[in-house]
Amino acid sequence: MRLRHHPRTGAARRLASTVETADSAIAQLRGLMFRRSLPEGYALAFRFDSARPRDVHMLFVFVPLDVIWVEAGVVQRVERLRPWRGFARSEADLLLELPAGAADGVEPGDELVLEPA
């Protein structure tokens, strides 16, 4: 999968060219824990059946992350979280974790779309 960013103003762009999905409960619990690095153009997507508050913790995460909470295709929140210390919560039916800096320019109200590769 790929992740495309459609800002409210300006041209659309590819935010990630390689998107993995955390579909199982174990994959969702683990997230990006224990990874020492992330490739450029990478994202991990957590897809849920409904929107509700979703937590992200950085315990055992060794790299900083940009986290994006999306509801019905619209960005609700973007947060850069620090390794080991970060924690954030917001409403979402799609949660995305990317390498720090990858979500620069993504703002609440923008659209994000997961596309087939």
Q: What is the pTM of this model?
A: 0.94
Count CB neighbours of 58 within 10 A.
21
| Host domain of residue 30 | 2-115
Q: Which pLDDT tens digit goes with each residue over 43-73?
A: 999 999 999 999 999 999 999 999 999 999 9
Least confident of 25-34, 89-98, 105-114: 25-34
Strand 13-16, strand 2-6: pairing: antiparallel
Q: What residue has token string 């508050």?
A: 53
Contact by Cβ (8 Å): 104, 62: no
Q: Is 60 left (phi over 0), alpha (psi -120 to 50) or beta?
A: left
If one counts the domains in the chain, the total is: 1
**For 82, phi and psi rounded to 5 degrees?**
-85, 150
The CATH number linked to 69 is 2.60.120.1140
Q: Which pLDDT tens digit goes with each residue over 4-19?
A: 999 999 999 999 999 9
